[in-house]
Structure 1
Amino acid sequence: MPDETIDTLVIGGGQAGLTMSHRLKQRGITHLVLERRRIAERWRSERWDGLMFQFPNWSVRLPEFTFSHSEPDGFSPTSDIIEFIEGYAAFVAPPIRCGVEVRKLRRDEGAGFVAETGDGRIAARNVVVATGPYQRPLRPELLRDHENLFQVHASGYKNPAQLPGGAVLVIGAGASGAQIAEELLRAGRRVFLSVGRHNRLPRRYRGRDLFWWLAEMGIDQTPVEQRGPSRLLPVISGAYGGNTIDFRRFAAEGVTLLGRATAARDGVIEIAPDLVTSVSNGDAFYATFLGMVDDFIGTRGLACPDDAAARARLPDPPSLTAPLRTLDLRAEGIGAVIWATGYGLDLGWIDIPVLDARGEPRHRHGISEVPGLYFLGLQWLSRMKSSFLSGVGDDAAVLADHIVTRL
């Protein structure tokens, strides 16, 4: 028998879980939020010291709660985002219990669902899984047998002083890898950056930030059904005032660009011959977006200044014209490797047949095929902006309305 019964259980106390609680309270639905550690835990413990939020300050908001800032077009440090989420938690005043981990979620014929926690069993008619998209750090098996080499995933990286002396190899050039590589370079470290497939976008173009254009053009409202085949997130940064990521600029400033790391033996890494293709494809994605904005401006007759600098292209660096095929860690004096290779979901605790072969939940706009089981805060849950701070509230409202129909 369960130790406690609740109408709706929300699992996760980050922005998605807090927003879900807010929407449920607005509809008078009795619920409970469980957070295994602290509110906004991943913002606290899995971000590096110098991380700047990738969204401009004017775009940071949660339902009925604004972000206090003095520079609309600036970018905020992690500490400010944590303070914002804490402020939102105080505003929502959710019925939340921190330090309670759900170890298993299973169906129960009588209660609907039962969540097994370290504090007992909780039965619920509805469950919203709001644990976020960045749950399990991913890294390949490469270099796992190099025990004497300092290695850390981006989720565990804190600052350059954390690393031993010598050069640094950053594997992965997405938003995290690019910003960490630039931070290390500015700290005086010699940096090697392994670049794979990526989608590059401008930080600003023709006087406006990227996210202004996404909203103005309605691109951030693109439904998941119209999502393209690429699952790549854009390479953007809010660091150092918010600059467009340009790998040619990185190289001009001293970063050695590499293709994908494919194998390693005796401290020598084999590099795929794909660097030129990856950079070229990233450039093409970038140019396509600029063209879309130009067409939109022309169609709407907007008074936006020309931006020739955004189309300027630096010469190809030596690491691009004659890319390395191997990298000898010892010969290059590399003392640390940072794995900026992304994250995966970790939903194995859900003992319900609702996950696909990749371990991702089967759902439509957050509503699973199991009545009463919902997901919130995932990338592209219903549309592009589903995982944005400014977008999670819309999805939460839809789920709350669906839960009302089950009362």
Structure 2
Amino acid sequence: MPIEEVSALVVGAGQAGIAASEHLRGYGIDHVVLERDRIAERWRSGRWDSLVANGPAWHDRFPNLEFASARDGFPGKEEVADYFVAYAEKIAAPIRTGVEVHSVARLTGRPGFRVETSAGTYHAGCVIAATGAFQTPVIPRLIPDTAGLLQIHSAAYRNPAQLPDGAVLVVGSGSSGAQIAEELQEAGRQVYLSVGPHGRPPRSYRGQDFCWWLGVLNKWDAEAVPGVEHTTIAVSGAHGGRTVDLRRFAASGMILLGRTEAFHDGKLTLAPDLARNLAKGDADFLAVLDEADAYVARNGIDLPEEPQARVMLPDPACVREPIRELDLAAAGITTVIWATGYSSDYSWLKLEVLDAEGRPKHQRGVAVEPGLYFLGLPWQTRRGSSFIWGVWHDARYVADHIAKQRAYQAYRPAELRLASTTP
């Protein structure tokens, strides 16, 4: 099979890869996008059945195509996947599905990379790793398999009916953990939710969605600072969009726990940090309201006041008298769902571009290896990078960098051009 030559090769046809393709095409750069599954596959098979987007349709989209659903609504996961398929068709993205990339290595004696795939070999002038950071589900090695529990990651959760009868422990209080816990509770399950440090923004305030507030308050363009990029955020578009309120969960029968620390002889040890973690979420919530009120007053905007937004439910018994040790069998827990995030897997990059923890070494997506780029990373350039619209803007920056580098590489001073044409 002959080697295919291409100026740019994009790995992954999710939102990052499709955005990259649009901007590369805009610069007239020939390229190919390789995807091992279907377009936007993670939205279809890597999410639970009832998942909807965490941002409204008017906001979480690419600039040149709107969702078919109501602009203020929250599209379901299948609609999001269909949106990316339609967008890829709209821009005529050169996507090849069912092609897995095995390795990317530097070519010797010439610029570019040798890319080995399940469909043959490519020589690419540059490579964009658009697989994102959420690739391998992380399940802490805490509860042994011999404990007799069903243990799954949130990526494997689909609906309450797939779980055995009994109570469920959800570990992790970010968006996934909070939404799954609420769904299970609404299905009649007894749910225990292990709560770690988290942010808890208002879903809406004074008639505007929090995505709008973060926009006008210039929060989306906030650049990463050490530690901030790892902040867990609890937000949801479920039920038409409403603020995640863990005290409301508890008032309906959910039992909140501190951060999970250890497991021994069938018992879970929990950190004494539940009240502190809830207080941090409250502080983040109120800080947004304070900034929003100040913005309204400063600009004289006519938005209805919402004093009830500041009223907090009282601490439930599980917060006032926190559980420090939980006997899983006595509590009737038969399932543990680990909503504990993902790790990245760039083992196919045969290049020195990762740090000691396996994270990409880059500056705004430009890797330390010339010609290699990363796209789809949280906080890649700003807070908004992990959102659909944010990755589109990051892709424009990456494509612009590629175009500039190509121009430098193609430039020859007049005397060199003359020498090359003189017999």
TM-score tier by shorter-chain length is over 0.9
Percentage of matched positions with identical amino acids: 48
CA RMSD of aligned residues (A): 1.5
Cα drift, residue 227 of structure 1: 7.1
Question: Could you give the per-residue CA deviations for residues 253-273 of structure 1, whole angstroms, max 9, x where no partner exists?
Answer: 110000111111222111111
My pick for the range that moved more, 193-202 or 299-308, is 299-308
State the match for 1:136 in structure 2.
136
Cα drift, residue 146 of structure 1: 3.0
Measure, in 2, the Cα distance between the counterparts of 1:401 and 1:136: 30
Q: Please, what TM-score do these two structures have when normalized by structure 1?
A: 0.96
Contact 1:60-1:66 within 8 A present in 2 as well: no
Kindly tell me: are residues 2 and 104 of structure 1, through their superposed partners in 2, closer, same or farther at Cα, counting changes over 3 Å? farther
| 1:362 and 2:361 matched | yes
The 5 Å alignment of 1:167-316 reads 167-224=167-224, 229=228, 231-316=230-315
Contact 2:202-2:243 within 8 A present in 1 as well: yes
Q: Flag structure 2 segments of 5+ consecutive residues without an equivalent.
A: 407-423
Measure, in 2, the Cα distance between the counterparts of 1:374 and 1:19: 14
Aligned residue type for 2:170: V
Kindly tell me: are residues 388 and 229 of structure 1, through their superposed partners in 2, closer, same or farther at Cα, counting changes over 3 Å? closer
| 1:91 and 2:105 matched | no
Q: SS state of the match for residue 144, structure 2?
A: coil
Aligned residue type for 2:158: K
Question: Could you give the per-residue CA deviations for residues 145-197 of structure 1, whole angstroms, max 9, x where no partner exists?
Answer: 33521111000000000000011110111100000000001001110000011
Contact 1:348-1:359 within 8 A present in 2 as well: no
Measure, in 2, the Cα distance between the counterparts of 1:16 and 1:34: 12
State the match for 2:376 in structure 1.
377
Cα drift, residue 314 of structure 1: 0.7
Contact 1:113-1:124 within 8 A present in 2 as well: yes
Measure, in 2, the Cα distance between the counterparts of 1:82 and 1:153: 21
Measure, in 1, the Cα distance between the counterparts of 2:272 and 2:226: 29
Cα drift, residue 216 of structure 1: 1.5
Q: SS state of the match for residue 234, structure 1?
A: coil
Aligned residue type for 1:256: I
Contact 1:273-1:325 within 8 A present in 2 as well: yes
Structure ID, larger Rg: 2
Measure, in 2, the Cα distance between the counterparts of 1:239 and 1:229: 26
Q: Flag structure 1 segments of 5+ consecutive residues without an equivalent.
A: none
Contact 1:2-1:123 within 8 A present in 2 as well: no
Contact 2:61-2:388 within 8 A present in 1 as well: yes
Cα drift, residue 232 of structure 1: 1.0
Question: Could you give the per-residue CA deviations for residues 294-351 of structure 1, whole angstroms, max 9, x where no partner exists?
Answer: 1111211111111112111111100000000111111111111111011121112211
Measure, in 2, the Cα distance between the counterparts of 1:146 and 1:339: 17
Measure, in 2, the Cα distance between the counterparts of 1:57 and 1:30: 31
Measure, in 2, the Cα distance between the counterparts of 1:365 and 1:301: 36
Question: Could you give the per-residue CA deviations for residues 245-298 of structure 1, whole angstroms, max 9, x where no partner exists?
Answer: 111111001100001111112221111111111111111111112111111112
The 5 Å alignment of 1:68-79 reads 68-70=68-70, 72-79=71-78
Cα drift, residue 2 of structure 1: 7.3
Contact 1:8-1:124 within 8 A present in 2 as well: yes
Question: Could you give the per-residue CA deviations for residues 13-32 of structure 1, whole angstroms, max 9, x where no partner exists?
Answer: 10110111111111111101
Question: Could you give the per-residue CA deviations for residues 70-115 of structure 1, whole angstroms, max 9, x where no partner exists?
Answer: 3x22212111111111111111221111111111111112251111
Aligned residue type for 2:167: A
Q: SS state of the match for residue 37, structure 1?
A: coil
Measure, in 2, the Cα distance between the counterparts of 1:229 and 1:401: 27
Measure, in 2, the Cα distance between the counterparts of 1:61 and 1:194: 32
Q: SS state of the match for residue 128, structure 2?
A: strand
Measure, in 2, the Cα distance between the counterparts of 1:204 and 1:230: 23
My pick for the range that moved more, 130-139 or 186-195, is 130-139
Measure, in 1, the Cα distance between the counterparts of 2:269 and 2:60: 42
Cα drift, residue 396 of structure 1: 1.3
Kindly tell me: are residues 146 and 261 of structure 1, through their superposed partners in 2, closer, same or farther at Cα, counting changes over 3 Å? farther
My pick for the range that moved more, 287-296 or 160-169, is 287-296
My pick for the range that moved more, 308-317 or 385-394, is 385-394
Cα drift, residue 144 of structure 1: 2.8
